[in-house]
Structure 1
Amino acid sequence: MTEAARAAAADPSGVQGAHPAPLALDGVPHGQPILDRLVALLDLEKIEENIFRGVSPSVSPTRVFGGQVAGQALVAAGRTVPPERKVHSLHAYFIRGGDPRVPIVYEVDRIRDGRSFTTRRVVAVQHGKAIFSLSASFQVVEEGLEHANEMPKVAAPETLPTYAERTAPYREQLKAWATMPRPIDVRYVTDPPWVSKDSGPRPEANNQVWMRADGKLPDDDLLHVCLLAYCSDMTLLDGVLARHGLNWGSDGVIGASLDHAMWFHRPFRADEWLLYDCVSPSASGGRGLATGRFFSADGQLVATVVQEGLMRLATESPL
């Protein structure tokens, strides 16, 4: 990690330097300077062969955001793979909550380098203990069969309220989540959980949002994939809440990501609009399962996500 990248990562607010971040209607920084700081977080420091170190933004929730550690782990894996081999899948487990106050060490195991496929295993470590593990597979570009599901018909992102406009009436309820710097532009197609909960349970409900990096990204395929891994942990479990007419926090719901899998089907850019269509097929045993599909604005299915999360009511016993 360069000194400039390290400084940017340590200052995610974007208020320092010659080019401060623009402010949304709610006064929260966003735009290119904030996106640059997210990119800096993914620019891991190589401290030894197959060992990398990452940091968290100074403005963080009490635990490291799951999408951050997933994105950083995928960067670590990708740094050990030739660029002509593209990541096509990842499978991960969130083992312990990450501490945003200290760096995360990523240890890469070079499992296999075959003629067509490369496999890597990454373990993220803090305080001497594993907090996250990831397996990722990379493949040379090949031709083959082609088919995909169609994208749902939804409103265009430009016609939808911004995140600042959506959260404005609920800032006191959402607390820190409504005021953190925003590197990702999120536009809800369906109502977010803090709104939909007033409508009650919605069986077979989909949770749909448009997302894009809030600025311009360099032409780096691995970076775009890692940014999508970061985004994939956002709003995914909201589909579980929608089925029951609940919201995080205010309805006593305690949640955390348990495991996460992604398959990357087609090329895309994370700084262009992507529709994230999520649904929950099941919830049981204090856990909720959610599946998500990312579509490009022209209707191409570019990635599929599956995640199981802890979905515990506050009245239930802790871990």
Structure 2
Amino acid sequence: MSDEGVETAADARVAGADGTGPSQVLDVPTTTDEPLASVLRALRLTRLGPDEFSGTSLPQLTGRIYGGQVLAQSLLAAADTLPDDGGNPASRQLHSTHGYFLRPGRVEEPITFAVERLHDGRSFSSRRTHAIQRGKPILSLISSYQEQQPGRDHASVMPQTPDPETLPSALEMFGAMDHPVAKFLSSTAAFDLRHVGQDIYLRPAEEPTDRQMLWMRARSPLPDGITQLQHRALLAYACDQVLLEPILRRHSLSWRTEGLSMASLDHAMWWHRPVDAGTWLLYVEESPSAHGGRGLTFARVFDTGGSHVATIAQEGMVRVPLDARDG
């Protein structure tokens, strides 16, 4: 199929931008179950043109946009510009993304998502997306999408772990704590986390290690109609909150370490197989290096059937006041 003159699903929908045509909001199913409902509303971007979208942000105690949110929004914006191959805009599936978090975003201000169509070949499409506030990018990423095709198959083997239903729930722990941050998390977290072994929310791990495993699942059932693309975007949304934890473990730090400062710097993901964000997913994480105020973490993600569904890499800033004094 020639790439010249290919009409996209977005082209057709934006043709009705005067209000007489199709909806200008991305089709993301809704639910009445909070806080998942708020996350799904944030993913329902408004289309401003064939390659431009706008979105809003979820509240955060820091006033800064949660990185996983803008990552997921950017992926959905890019995907909405894909070629409409034979009337099926979902025939090309998201398989990888590489992005940089450039500036902290402000939750009270809208975000503009500008998509650049880099390439549409016979098998792959590539897009660059800039998430913009006040005229400057806060996130820049490239994502790639592929036609469903046959090929050779092999995968990592999932390690043995306890059933997630037998492990302590982070949501239940936060709900039992009389602390403003815990109360905020217990009421707004859309995903339940369950660590295999000791968590590091309140105190460092008893033994330093650069590895950890945890289970994660949407807090309430996902509504009918969620597409595979949206499942993958929800995985991107959820994972950003846990990827730097192995760095903390390795250096006997916890989320309550005094003066701790953390921020995601760059993020890469590869989706290997279909994923269901509404079921338990196991994150097998390790941090091979930390230096100069930066740390790197890898994560392999498995479903309960043992299928290796995704791989993630992230480098982040991790600083504590003691580091500056030692230097």
Deviations 1:49-86 (A, max 9, x none): 20000101245532100000000000100111131000
* Residue 228 to residue 279, structure 1, CA distance change in 2 (3 Å): same
Deviations 1:182-214 (A, max 9, x none): 221222223221255052x52343242333352
- Residue 67 (structure 1) aligned with residue 48 (structure 2): no
- Residue 214 (structure 1) aligned with residue 224 (structure 2): no
Counterpart of 1:87 (choices 89, 94, 102) is: 94
1:24 corresponds to which residue?
Answer: none
- Residue 160 (structure 1) aligned with residue 172 (structure 2): no
Deviation at 1:167, TM superposition (A): 2.9
Name the aligned partner's letter for residue 127 of structure 1: R
2:128 corresponds to which residue?
Answer: 121
Name the aligned partner's letter for residue 112 of structure 1: H
Q: Superposed, which structure 2 residues align to 1:1-319 within 5 Å?
A: 32-58=33-59, 61-81=62-82, 82-168=89-175, 171-172=178-179, 174-175=181-182, 178-195=185-202, 197=204, 199=206, 201-212=207-218, 214-217=220-223, 218-315=225-322
Deviation at 1:37, TM superposition (A): 1.9
SS in 2 for 1:166: helix
Measure, in 1, the Cα distance between the counterparts of 2:295 and 2:155.
26
SS in 2 for 1:197: coil
CA contact (8 A) 2:203 2:256 kept: no
CA contact (8 A) 1:173 1:250 kept: no
CA contact (8 A) 1:237 1:288 kept: yes
CA contact (8 A) 1:207 1:238 kept: no
Moved over 4 A (4+): 168-171, 173-177
Measure, in 2, the Cα distance between the counterparts of 1:66 and 1:219.
22
Structure 2 spans left out of the alignment, 5+ residues? 1-22, 83-88
CA contact (8 A) 1:109 1:120 kept: yes
Greater CA drift, 274-283 or 182-191: 182-191
Name the aligned partner's letter for residue 67 of structure 1: G
Name the aligned partner's letter for residue 274 of structure 1: L
Deviation at 1:175, TM superposition (A): 4.6
CA RMSD of aligned residues (A): 2.5
Measure, in 1, the Cα distance between the counterparts of 2:159 and 2:181.
29
SS in 1 for 2:35: helix
CA contact (8 A) 1:253 1:311 kept: yes
Name the aligned partner's letter for residue 49 of structure 2: E
Name the aligned partner's letter for residue 129 of structure 1: K
Deviation at 1:106, TM superposition (A): 0.3
Name the aligned partner's letter for residue 64 of structure 1: I
Greater CA drift, 165-174 or 48-57: 165-174
State how many pairs are aligned.
294
CA contact (8 A) 1:255 1:312 kept: yes
* Residue 190 to residue 226, structure 1, CA distance change in 2 (3 Å): same
Aligned-pair identity (%): 37
* Residue 59 to residue 195, structure 1, CA distance change in 2 (3 Å): closer
Deviations 1:193-251 (A, max 9, x none): 1255052x523432423333522232311111110110120211011101111012433
SS in 2 for 1:281: strand
SS in 2 for 1:241: helix
Measure, in 2, the Cα distance between the counterparts of 1:73 and 1:67.
10
SS in 2 for 1:193: coil
SS in 2 for 1:71: helix
